[in-house]
Amino acid sequence: MSPIVSIIMGSTSDLPVMEKACQFFEEEEIPFEVNALSAHRTPAEVSAFAREAHKRGIKVIIAGAGMAAALPGVIAAETPLPVIGVPIKGSSLEGLDATLAILQMPPGIPVATVAIGGAQNAAILAMQILALSDETLMQKLTAYKSGLKNKIVKANEELARLPYKYKC
């Protein structure tokens, strides 16, 4: 089994957030790899990873980082693959620092940025990209979205049963 998605994080201290992406791929049976690489502490390794990923069969990269979060951007600079960035809250700036660093990419080098800590959404977006050329994944996504709808319909039915006297 070879990975088709690569999850990268700037430090293993990012793992509690980035694990949400791992768990999603595990549930959806999508082969993934996960590594810690740092744009500031291991720049040569990041560059080698970015230049080689598509040659190894990786189709989408998810990169999470906190603070001066250069990782998603420097990977995007050297890969033709779509890069999804996950800002991580890890400083006194509560993730705003990482959000701006990941979001404000110059023209020509896009990073699709999700919410602070939004690793699960990053994984769903990656699956949506993969599903464009994989009918099985498209069907799984349709089932996933139906599950979300059913959950809120059920929750709304439970609201209707709340026993307030003045609830009309």
Residues making contact with ligand RP5 (CB under 6 A): 10-11, 13-14, 38, 65-67, 88, 90
Q: Extract long-range pairs of 57-60: CB within 8 Å, 24+ residues apart.
A: 57/2, 57/3, 57/4, 58/3, 58/4, 58/5, 58/6, 58/33, 59/4, 59/5, 59/129, 59/130, 60/4, 60/5, 60/6, 60/84, 60/126, 60/129, 60/130
Residue of closest CB approach to ligand RP5: 10
To ligand RP5, the closest distance from the beta carbon of 142 in angstroms equals 34
How many other C-beta atoms are found inside a 10 Å radius of the C-beta of residue 7?
Answer: 28
To ligand RP5, the closest distance from the beta carbon of 109 in angstroms equals 19
To ligand RP5, the closest distance from the beta carbon of 49 in angstroms equals 15
Of residues 116 and 138, the one with the C-beta less far from ligand RP5 = 116
Of residues 27 and 94, the one with the C-beta less far from ligand RP5 = 94
* Residue at token pair 């939004």: 118
Of residues 65 and 126, the one with the C-beta less far from ligand RP5 = 65
To ligand RP5, the closest distance from the beta carbon of 55 in angstroms equals 25
